[in-house]
């Protein structure tokens, strides 16, 4: 919980710093255009991949399987889409990493590890 609070404080502060630097370096209009572009692109990607994940989960449920992978994908897509809609380049990079299937595997591995650790604590 302590790390989460630290992230909630540090990430927006770093994002503001990067946005200020970008505004000074590129200009205000290009910086705003990039923020809007990443937001629109993020919403499109999140919707596309979210619908694909729902279809996978439904197919797994129809075949009598538990959609474990689809649930983890859905969590990553939801968080990634939210981060892409949040203005800032650092959150955009993290959001894109969560939406790209190849890099999403690493985040799913981290989630599984965290879940297993929590389960061991509860037992």
Neighbours of 46 (CB within 10 A): 22
What is the 3-state secondary structure of the chain? Answer: CHHHHHHHHHHHHHHHHHHHHHHHHCCHHHHHHHHHHHHHHHHHHHHHHHHHHHHHHHHHHHCCCCCHHHHHHHHHHHHHHHHHHCCCHHHHHHHHHHHCHHHHHHHHHHHHHHHHHHHHHHC
Q: Looking at residue 2, what is its pLDDT? A: 77
Per residue in 6-57, pLDDT (tens digit) is 888 898 899 999 999 999 999 999 999 999 999 899 889 999 999 999 999 9
Please say if the pLDDT value at position 110 is more than 80: yes
pLDDT of the residue at 123: 60
Residues 43, 51: Cα–Cα separation, whole Å: 12
- Reported as a pLDDT band with limits 50, 70 and 90, residue 94 is very high
pTM for this entry: 0.83
pLDDT digits over 49-83, tens only? Answer: 999 999 999 999 999 888 888 999 999 999 999 99
């Amino acid at each position: 919980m302590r790390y989460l609070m630290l992230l909630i404080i540090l990430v927006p502060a770093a994002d503001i710093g990067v946005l200020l630097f970008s505004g000074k370096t590129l200009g205000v209009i290009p910086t705003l255009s990039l923020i809007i572009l990443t937001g629109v692109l993020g919403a499109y990607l999140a919707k596309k991949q979210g619908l694909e994940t729902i279809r996978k989960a439904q197919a797994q449920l129809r075949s009598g399987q538990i959609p474990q992978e689809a649930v983890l994908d859905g969590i990553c897509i939801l968080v990634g889409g939210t981060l892409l809609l949040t203005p800032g380049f650092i959150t955009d990079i993290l959001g894109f990493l969560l939406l790209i299937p190849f890099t999403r595997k690493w985040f799913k591995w981290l989630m599984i590890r965290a879940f297993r650790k929590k389960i061991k604590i509860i037992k």
